[in-house]
Amino acid sequence: MGFNIGIDIGGTFTDCFIADAGGKNLACKTPTTHYDLSVGFMKGIKELARLYGKPLEAFLAECDSVRYSTTVGTNAVIERTGPKLGLITTAGFEDTIYIGRARSWGDGASLTEMRDQARVQKPEPLIQPDMVVGIRERIDSSGKVVMPLSREDVLRKVQTLVDRGAMGFVVSLLWSFRNPEHERMIKEIIEEEYPEDYLGSLPVILSSDVSAKGGEYPRTMTAVVNAYIHGLMADELNKLSNELRDGGFRRPITLVHNTGGTKKASRTRAVLTHNAGPVAGMYGAVFQGRITGDRNIIFTDMGGTSFDIGVIANGQTRSHDFAPVIDRWRTNIPAIEVKSIGAGGGSIAWINKIMGNTLQVGPRSSGSMPGPACYNQGGEEPTVTDADLVLGFYNPDNYLGGKMSLDPELATDVIKEKIARPLDITVAEAAWRIRRLVDAQMGQEAFNEVALKGHDPRVFSLYACGGAGAAHACNFAGHIGVNRIIVPFSSSVYGAFGASIMNIREIWERSLSLKILRGTDQRYLEDIEAFNRPVRELKELAVRDLRLEGYSENQISFTLDLDMRYGGSQYNLTKVTFSRFELKSAEDYRELCDLFIVRYAEAYSAEAGFPQGGISIEGFRLTAEVIGADKNMPAEKMDEIQPDRKSLKGQRPIYWDPADGYVDTNIFDWAALRPGNQLAGPAVIESPHTTFVVPKGWLFSMDMHRNGIVERVQLNTKAQGRRMEKVL
């Protein structure tokens, strides 16, 4: 057996991780090269090979797969660098993507922008109005052809788009998710007119292939976004594949999906790569929680650009975003829900003069180039990393294990000029305020994510991941209300860690309205084929697709989820998991209705249920996952509580709060600590990829997997006080 490489490209750093069959874990971070992501990618691969102790060719020859989560697609949408596309839709519906939904102007907008409704504007469209044409055809809501498609009409409209410069086509017709016949006919016509062996060959994306779900606007936008980033991603992946092949890798590259799995790049739709890195981190937390016994987890990842938050309840990622917003566009892919805010090490601190010289942090970020001022790469704005350095939490000579040096003077100067002078305070207090403000922002957002989903944060453990997570976790944990923090052994590269252990997985969906309990007479549906047929068709699609990946049906695990609702209700209860894939009798509908009533009561309370109005299925969702080999984390023997004297590197003055000023604080070496060791705060622990900040009142310990456990300690008794003194 070889190993899997996980690569997660973030806004500031590119994270890399491998764990081989022998239990060896290796990680590295390289700056993200936005001008060409493949440069940072290959630097990371070469650094892993060096750490592994083998030449690049021999290293890649042993590698089973390279799992890659990329931001190139999202960046293309944000920066509007995609190709000029033509949209073919049903005549009379050419303005669907411009009308949008009632609140489409607010999709993806910041809170500040949404509050300023007098000035808010809809985003610049990905497809201009003159690049949209309507075809005379019509399929009704039941999938019946009402008006046949005219080949001549299609050819005329397609030629119009080509003459206007179209470099690809999106086809989204009314009710095509019920019957895709007309969309497929249009694709055949285009491919006949512009065959692949012509230089004028143009890609054609069908909405019924990308998203076979109801909702005209989000279905069309899903196809548009997919087409917009398709070409750019294909070019990037071809380049990466060639470079890996030149280095000795002989297998296809694998992409991480935002649905919680991986697939070969050749079998992946581009839109599914959006936000894949944080989803990979969530998967890693679920996996690790099963081993360590953490069933309720608040997953957080504080990187250089963003702060990601996810909720894992009872060991499962229960929260899915079935209408995720990509930049400013609402789509309908079934992504695992991870919220991101602009709060990271590179978040810029600034003075809002309009609001009376109020200090604010983010959402703008310095990124990796030029990065924070202390990087000495031309950054001229104060950031959270600059503040942490000024306060003494970071060692300027041992950042990223000594691979990168920081300049405290540059950090001091920029905070003094941009923050301290305008507020008439000291540089240290300005840095402390920056840190305190970003911690409050992160903590409040994390609390909202948990509490507003009906959970009590106090019974959750906080996973602090990302390069800056361990340095800020104790501070923002107080705003959430949690008392137990886990900093995983691979926390600084957790997205890459999650990618390296993910299974092949995909989701197939279909919108179909099926009333299984009538409200008028409370009778259950008798036609069991109305349920069995769509499930069977989805399963056939899944098996066929994964066979092309090289897997047989007995290697695949299936999960069936249903979108259901009460009669008269406007909204569906998504993800009602049903254990049966085939109904045997009409009585089975009763079991399904009973399950829905229970799930609805769990979500909205029993009083909110209304079975008298009837119950219907509105959508089917089949998840197929390849059953992988059992995975585990390497474990070490537990040692004594008292750490070895060699782990104490010395002391450094650290500014914990304005009342005490700078206080000499013990600095420990993470590599010299052993499982079972404990340290009481205040203390700082330096590892090659992150820095643990343990304030007073918190106790750090290392478990058998070398995870850092940081718990709040109450000094209520003399015995506890003596124990803390001993640990100190």
606 and 704 assigned to the same domain? no
Q: What is the pLDDT of residue 80?
A: 82
514 and 430 assigned to the same domain? no
Domain count, the chain: 4
**Range of the structural domain that residue 697 is part of:** 645-727
Could you tell me the strand order of the sheet in which 339-341 lies? Answer: 339-341, 307-312, 297-302, 461-465, 484-487, 708-712, 698-702, 678-680
The encoded tokens of residue 20 equal 């081989």
Rounded to the nearest 5°, which phi and psi values hold at 515? Answer: -80, 110
Q: Domain boundary residue among 420, 436, 452?
A: 436
Residues whose CB falls within 8 Å of the CB of residue 113, separated by 6 or more in sequence, listed in order: 120
Q: Residue 507's beta-bridge partner residues? A: 623
Give the CATH number of the domain where residue 535 resides: 3.30.1490
Whether residue 248 lies inside any domain: the answer is no
Whether residue 662 lies inside any domain: the answer is yes
Cα gap 38→35, rounded to integer Å: 9
556 and 654 assigned to the same domain? no
Cα gap 366→317, rounded to integer Å: 31
Average pLDDT for runs of 10 along the chain of length 728: 83 83 80 82 91 90 88 76 93 92 78 74 89 96 93 95 94 94 95 79 90 90 92 86 89 89 86 89 91 92 88 82 82 86 89 86 80 90 95 89 86 95 94 96 92 88 93 94 93 91 88 90 91 94 87 90 88 82 91 92 84 92 84 83 91 94 95 94 91 95 93 60 41
Amino acid present at 540: E
Among candidates 209, 214, 137, 150, which has minimal Cα distance to 180?
209
414 and 519 assigned to the same domain? no
165 and 216 assigned to the same domain? yes
Amino acid present at 466: G
Among candidates 62, 67, 68, 51, which has minimal Cα distance to 249?
62
Q: What is the pLDDT of residue 719?
A: 42
CA distances for 185 relative to 177, 281, 416, angstroms:
14, 41, 65
User: Residue holding tokens 């790049």?
Assistant: 265
